[in-house]
Amino acid sequence: MADYKAPLRDMRFVLNEVFEVSKLWAELPALADVVDEETANAILEEAGKVTAGSIAPLNRSGDEEGCSWDNGVVKTPAGFPEAYRTYAEGGWVGVGGAPEFGGMGMPKVIGAQVEEMVNSASLSFGLYPMLTSGACLSILNHASEDLKAQYLPNMYTGVWAGSMCLTEPHAGTDLGIIRTKAEPQADGSYKISGTKIFITGGEHDLTENIIHLVLAKLPDAPAGPKGISLFLVPKVMVNADGSLGEKNALGCGSIEHKMGIKASATCVMNFDGATGYLIGEVNKGLAAMFTMMNYERLGVGIQGLSLGERSYQNAIEYARERIQSRAPTGPVAKDKAADPIIVHPDVRRMLLTMKALNEGGRAFSSYVAMQLDTAKYSEDKATAQRAEELVALLTPVAKAFLTDMALETTVHGQQIFGGHGFIREWGQEQLVRDCRITQIYEGTNGIQSLDLMGRKIVGSGGSYYKHFADEIKAFVASADASLSEFTQPLAAAVESLDGLTAWVLDSAKGNPNEIGAASVEYLQAFGYTAYAYMWALMARAAQGKEGQDEFYASKLGTARFYFARLLPRIHSLSASVKAGSESLYLLDAAQF
Ligand SMILES: Cc1cc2nc3c(=O)[nH]c(=O)nc-3n(C[C@H](O)[C@H](O)[C@H](O)COP(=O)(O)OP(=O)(O)OC[C@H]3O[C@@H](n4cnc5c(N)ncnc54)[C@H](O)[C@@H]3O)c2cc1C
């Protein structure tokens, strides 16, 4: 297996040359004095060192050893506690955290690159800080000032971790039917009772305390999603002076044995009248949880990219070294018994598919992160609102499309190794196994598609979509004629997506099944079109520099591959969408 190397050149290309992100930072007063291109480059370089040096070497051993549970005590694999300490001491857990509580205050677009690196190094490892920063975000936006002051500083520094406790045995997608109860107490706290399952980092040995954010219902709560409240429930009680007190009434009943991410503890958590504190308003718990959803869902999309990137780094090295058969056009490595497999068209197809989808995904997730930053920091109301609507539209695409593409890329990365990809030694099969969960948790990709189509497209009457489509059309209209090999197919792709979107809006009026029938293929057509926009932007940034540096020649070649070989997938997706729901309902349940 190749050593992981953080793709810093590519990250800098996206941030500095494609999006010129320092111009955005200069326009946002809250960021203007905090970050510039030089600071960002230094942060990324340092993150590259710590992730490649301290975490990446634990990926395979962590997978082999897994987590263990013994009478409620959960241990992470050897090396994880030490690596976690190094990571936390570097300030990486609080990279995007609020400075007034000890966070680094970096924009999301920087945090997104750090997330990519840590998850490439080890997705299992990356989940612990990710859940912590997600919990911090909900606390920061919705909790009382006292709770913020008491909990955030130790969470940003990684001294304490966080978890998100939503899922119950009978309630996953449909959180409206959860049964965990919250009984109000005279002192203003609550007693939380119930069982949560599949809780990432619910218990572990990395930190001295774990702060659980728990969804529960008050005794008189209305039925369904409108009766859910959010509570902060510490594993160990925190005294008024900040010291740790008694253990709270909760524990880890067991951990799951899983297909992948084996070094991430996935816990059954039992709350037995545990003391909890309300976050936000009673019965508005789901809304408080959703504050962090856009950040987390983008983060899960980035997890997919991370795995695709690691798989590609291994595959390209292998394809250059492994010799098998001769090139169809005649021997290339004449001094060897056979040519390196990179000469074969099919191996090139797989490598280029990986490269085009990874780099398209990196640009797209950075674009969405920039919209998150604009929505959060812009002082111009209209600009902030447009960015917020773009985030709402693009987040389900980023979560589902990046992770669906990651399964394709990690499988290609395994295939390039032939039989060696199937055995454990090379690490390629682990990346496929680890990838699979990214399509499932944080809302399945099917649910992301419903969110895109139902809430974001139909729900906004097409207005959110129009922001994105208009931006692409304006780019096409203003682009130099020398870019037409990219802008012409991009314009055609947007026109096709316009037609598909109008079809969706129209057909949803007549038959409620049409949304769910079309949504997955619609999201994918959207994703390929969004990547086409990214590749056209990247081609613009690379154009004219290809003679100086092969990095830019590689970008332009990959852009051409994307438009020639991947974008045409929208045609079959579009045909499937327009076939409608009828054929899905030809069988009754017994006929399956
Ligand atoms: C390793 C791991 C880690 C996890 N970490 C956490 C965590 O930290 N915290 C937490 O709270 N949860 C966590 N989860 C839970 C995870 O988010 C859920 O498993 C996921 O949201 C799906 O819920 P479910 O498993 O109950 O599936 P279900 O909701 O039962 O869904 C089953 C299938 O039906 C489909 N479906 C359901 N409703 C609809 C609908 N309306 N329309 C169309 N299709 C539908 C789904 O897409 C899916 O394909 C984790 C799960 C795993 C496996």
pLDDT by residue (tens digit) across 229-274? Answer: 999 999 999 999 999 999 999 999 999 999 999 999 999 999 999 9
- What is the distance between the alpha carbons of residues 212 and 199, in angstroms, rounded to a whole number? 10
Least-confidence region, from 290-299, 404-413, 487-496 = 290-299
What's the confidence (pLDDT) of residue 460? Answer: 94
Distance CA 372, CA 183 (A): 36
- Residue 18 binned pLDDT confidence (cut-offs 50, 70, 90): very high
The boundaries of the domain holding residue 457 are 444-592
Q: Give a yes or no: residue 58 inside a domain.
A: no
CB-count burial class (<10 Å; 0-12, 13-18, 19+) for 384: middle
Task: Give the torsion sign (CA, 577, 489, 545, 354).
Answer: positive
Q: Work out which ligand 1 atom sits closest to the CA atom of 131.
A: 8
Residue 202 CA: which ligand 1 atom is closest? 8
Residues with CB under 6 A from ligand 1: 164-167, 172-173, 198-200, 258, 266, 437, 440-444, 446-447, 450, 516
Report the SS3 class of residue 284. Answer: coil
Question: DSSP assignment, residue 176?
Answer: G
Rounded mean pLDDT, 20-40: 95
| Mean pLDDT rounded to a whole number for the chain | 96
Looking up tokens 């598609």 gives 449
Compute the distance from residue 178 Cα to the ligand 1 centre, in Å. 13
Nearest CA to ligand 1 atom 31: 173
Nearest C-alpha to atom 50 of ligand 1 is from which residue?
A: 198
Considering only CA atoms, which residue is closest to atom 32 of ligand 1? 173
pLDDT in tens, 316-355: 999 999 999 999 999 999 999 999 999 999 999 999 999 9
560 within a domain of the structure (yes/no) = yes
Probe residue for ligand 1, chosen from 167, 204, 515 as the CB with the greatest number of ligand atoms within 8 Å = 167
Both tokens of 187, joined, read: 């002192």
Q: What is the pLDDT of residue 512?
A: 86
For the CA of 442, the nearest atom of ligand 1:
17
- Smallest CA separation from ligand 1 atom 25, residue: 172
Taking the centre of ligand 1 as the mean of its atom positions, its distance from the CA of residue 445, in whole angstroms, is: 10
89 a catalytic residue:
no
Alpha helices in 250-380 (DSSP H): 285-321, 345-377
Looking at the domain assignment, is residue 379 inside a domain? Answer: no
* Distance from residue 436's CA to the centre of ligand 1 (Å): 13
The pLDDT value given to residue 2: 72
Sign of the C-alpha dihedral, residues 16, 17, 18, 22? positive
Does residue 400 lie within any of the structural domains? Answer: no
| Residue to substitute in 257, 440, 450 for testing ligand 1 pocket (most ligand atoms within 8 angstroms of CB) | 440
- CA distances for 268 relative to 138, 196, 197, 265, angstroms: 22, 6, 4, 10
Question: What is the enclosing helix (H) or strand (E) of 197?
Answer: strand 190-200
Beta strands 209-216 and 160-165 are parallel
Q: If you write DSSP's letter for every residue of 439-462 in order, what string do you get?
A: GTSSS-HHHHHHIIIIIIIITTTT
Judge whether 432 lies within some domain.
no
Looking at ligand 1, which atom is closest to the CA of residue 163? 8
* Bigger pLDDT: 446 vs 548: 446
105 by DSSP, 3-state: which?
Answer: coil
**Residue 402 pLDDT greater than 90, yes or no:** yes
In a domain, 127, yes or no: no
User: Which residue is associated with the tokens 């800098």?
Assistant: 12
The answer to whether residues 268 and 253 touch, using CB atoms and an 8 Å cutoff, is yes
Residue 558 lies in a domain: yes
Average pLDDT score over residue span 62-67: 98
Residue 199 CA, ligand 1 centroid: distance in Å: 12
Q: Give the residue whose CA is nearest to atom 45 of ligand 1.
A: 447
Quote the CA–CA distance of 212 and 85 in Å, as a whole number.
20
Cβ density class 131-157: b for 16+ within 10 Å, e for less:
bbbbbbbbbbebbeeebbebbbbbbbb
Backbone angles phi, psi at 355, to 5 degrees: -65, -45
pTM value is: 0.98
The pLDDT value recorded for residue 1 is: 66
- Ligand 1 centre and the CA of 165: distance in Å? 13
C-alpha 178/C-alpha 225 separation (Å) is 9
CA 451 to centroid of ligand 1, rounded, Å:
14
- Tell me, yes or no, whether 276 lies in a domain: no
For the cut 90, the answer to whether the pLDDT of residue 507 exceeds it is no
The count of other CB atoms within 10 Å of the CB of residue 243 is: 8
Nearest residue (by CA) to ligand 1, atom 11, is: 166
Q: What percent of the chain has pLDDT over 90?
A: 96
Give the integer Cα–Cα distance in Å for 169 and 156. 31
Distance (Å) from CA 170 to ligand 1 centroid: 10
pLDDT at 292: 76
Q: How far apart are CA 490 and CA 201, in angstroms?
A: 42
Tell me how far apart the alpha carbons of residues 592 and 578 are, in angstroms, rounded to a whole number.
Answer: 24
Which helix (H) or strand (E) element contains residue 402?
helix 381-415
**Nearest residue by C-alpha to atom 23 in ligand 1:** 172
Choice from 258, 293, 441, 519 to test ligand 1 binding pocket (greatest atom count within 8 A of CB): 441
- Cα→Cα distances 447→299, 399, 400, Å: 17, 11, 9
Expressed in angstroms and rounded, the spacing between residue 300 Cα and the centre of ligand 1 is 14
CA-derived radius of gyration, the chain? 24
Residue nearest to atom 37 of ligand 1 (CA): 173
The pLDDT, as a whole number, for residue 510 is 83
Please pick, among 115, 309, 359, 442, the residue that the annotation labels catalytic: 442
CA quadruple 97, 366, 313, 541: dihedral sign: negative
Domain count, the chain: 1
